[in-house]
Amino acid sequence: MSTANVQDLRRVVLAVTRLRGETVKQVTARSDVRHVKVEFDSGLILVISAERDEQGRPRLEVDVVEAAQDAAQKQQIEVRFE
């Protein structure tokens, strides 16, 4: 295993560790199963993608992101001009 592969695995482990104790809400996979999205009750989203780099080697991408807030949930200040 090359150094780059070990670094990729460390990055994946750090991203997934954030999900410890989370409850899965929904899982969505593309028909070709190259992309999988796992949504959690807390609003976190795990995105897993398997693609090929410029040299044709397989590459696994794993990201954990937070879902965008609904406009109704955002705290806004209402100002009226008269």
Two structure tokens written together for 78: 């209402």
Is residue 80 included in any domain, yes or no?
no
Is residue 75 included in any domain, yes or no?
no
Taking residue 24's Cβ as centre, other Cβ atoms within 10 Å add up to 11
Residue 24 structural domain = 3-66
Q: Strand, coil or helix: what is 19?
A: coil
pLDDT tier at 50 (50, 70, 90 boundaries)?
confident
How many residues make up the chain in this entry? Answer: 82
pTM for this structure?
A: 0.67
Is residue 81 included in any domain, yes or no?
no
Is residue 21 included in any domain, yes or no?
yes
Is residue 51 included in any domain, yes or no?
yes
What's the total number of domains in the chain?
1
Two structure tokens written together for 8: 């990729």
Ramachandran angles phi, psi of 65, nearest 5°: -130, 165
What is the tens place of the pLDDT at every residue in 20-43? 999 999 999 988 878 999 999 999
